[in-house]
Amino acid sequence: MPKKLFLITFFFLSCLAKAQKEAKSPFTLNDYKKMRGEYLNAVNSGNDDIIYKDQQYYSKRKIDSVTAIKYEILKQGLIEWGTPASEITDEMVKAYESNTHVYLKQAYFTLKKKGYYFYLSNDSRLEIFTDKKLEIQCVFEKNGYKEIVKNKKYITENQYFQNGHLKITDTGLNPSRENTGISREYDANGKLLLTVNWDTEFKLSKDQAIQSGIVLGKKYLMDSYKKNNPNLNDTEIQNVIEINLKKARITAYKGKEYNKTKLWYLEYMTNGYILNVKIKDPSAQLISINQTMIIE
């Protein structure tokens, strides 16, 4: 290969690798199996420092240390959830104390290796943390395996068949989990069944989909209110709907069916009900809509 062509090819492949939107694990499925086996051997070795409680292995020594600094750990947990440090009170920390996993997870019995450490929960969920800020889970399930890999930008979930073949791969933004990159689904023999490019195949933006859902939702709710509240006039009903939807907590995500139909799934949660709307992309054609009342 001519040197110039080699350089162009290398540059192209380098750019392609950088453009991939996914979080990748440096470990294989066999690596996960070995880690699990090593951990189970360690906790069953008769070490008096290890105790098993609530489907988790703990180090007694670590529990004593963590309990002594529990307040500071809980306070840091509140900060990580978005509470300004200056606003944290003793009462808030005490109320947060019921979330024992926030501090007790630091007392888990772990195995440390060069560049990473890991532990096992419920004998089936392996959790790995690397020096390169990767968080990895491998869940050993009856019919296969599930791998979740998180880095600063992305969360990638891979599902595998029992034979080790990839079943589904999906990537979302971290922490929103909004779909991005390319998702693929395979059968047990490795045949590609479905592929979705979340960044290029959908023409409606998230805001456009949400607004389309609101327009369709208003019409649906208007008909429903008029049927169930015949004494109210249209203006009164419209005002009620406007207020509810304006305060709604909105969830929107994309989907693609095997027949290649691209869809938006929209949820509007208000104080009194949840409105679910499903529309086509890019036409915003209504596929389904329903209202579920919230009983408090």
Flag whether the pTM goes above 0.85.
Answer: no
Judge whether 172 lies within some domain.
yes
Judge whether 15 lies within some domain.
no
Same domain, 39 and 116: yes
Mean pLDDT, residues 109-116: 97
Same domain, 193 and 275: no
* Segment 1-15, tens digit of pLDDT: 444 444 444 444 444
Judge whether 253 lies within some domain.
yes
Least confident of 66-75, 146-155, 172-181, 260-269: 66-75
The answer to whether residue 43 scores a pLDDT higher than 50 is yes
- 10 Å Cβ neighbour count for 233? 9
Same domain, 52 and 167: yes
- 160/14: higher pLDDT: 160
Mean pLDDT, residues 50-73: 84
Closest CA to 138 of 60, 150, 59, 5: 150
CA 39/CA 19 separation, integer angstroms: 36
- 212/94: higher pLDDT: 212
Mean pLDDT, residues 259-268: 95
Domain end residue (candidates: 197, 220, 255): 197
Same domain, 192 and 227: no
Judge whether 159 lies within some domain.
yes
Residue environment code for 23-46, b if the CB has 16+ CB neighbours within 10 A, otherwise e = bebebebeebeebbeebeeebeee
Judge whether 184 lies within some domain.
yes
Same domain, 77 and 181: yes
Domain end residue (candidates: 166, 197, 228): 197
- Supply the pLDDT for residue 13: 40
Same domain, 122 and 177: yes
Judge whether 79 lies within some domain.
yes
Same domain, 97 and 175: yes
Count of domains forming the chain: 2
The answer to whether residue 20 scores a pLDDT higher than 90 is no
Same domain, 159 and 252: no
Q: Residue written as tokens 């189970």? A: 40
How confident is residue 93, by pLDDT bands cut at 50, 70 and 90?
A: confident
- Supply the pLDDT for residue 78: 81
- Supply the pLDDT for residue 100: 61
- The per-residue pLDDT of the chain, averaged, comes to 89
Judge whether 109 lies within some domain.
yes
Same domain, 235 and 148: no
Mean pLDDT, residues 275-285: 97
Judge whether 100 lies within some domain.
yes
Mean pLDDT, residues 262-269: 97
Residue-wise DSSP of the chain: --HHHHHHHHHHHHHHHHH------S--HHHHHHHHHHHHHHHTS--TTEEEETTEEEEHHHHHHHHHTHHHHHHHHHHHTT--GGG--HHHHHHHTT-THHHHGGGB--EEETTEEEEEETTTEEEEEETTS-EEEEEEETTEEEEEEE-SSEEEEEEEETTS-EEEEEEEETTT--B-SEEEEE-TTS-EEEEEETTTS--S-HHHHHHHHHHHHHHHHHHHHHHH-TTS-HHHHHHHHHHHHHT-EEEEEEEE-TT--EEEEEEEE-SSEEEEEEEETTT--EEEEEEEEPP-
- Supply the pLDDT for residue 8: 47
* Contact present, 239 and 290 (Cβ < 8 Å): no
Same domain, 178 and 258: no
> Residue 268 pairs with which residues in a beta bridge?
250, 275
Rounded to 5°, angle at Cα 78 from 73 and 81: 125
Same domain, 29 and 125: yes
Q: Which of 45-54, 229-238, 250-259, 280-289 has the highest mean pLDDT?
A: 280-289
- Supply the pLDDT for residue 81: 74
* Segment 202-239, tens digit of pLDDT: 999 999 999 999 999 999 999 998 888 888 899 989 99
Contacts of 257 (CB under 8 A, 6+ apart): 263
Q: Residue written as tokens 């989907």? A: 255
Domain end residue (candidates: 165, 197, 229): 197
Is the backbone of residue 286 left (phi > 0), alpha (psi -120 to 50) or beta? beta
Angle between helices 70-80 and 60-68 (to 10 degrees): 70
Six token digits for residue 77: 């947990």
Same domain, 30 and 151: yes
Residues spanned by the domain of 132? 23-197
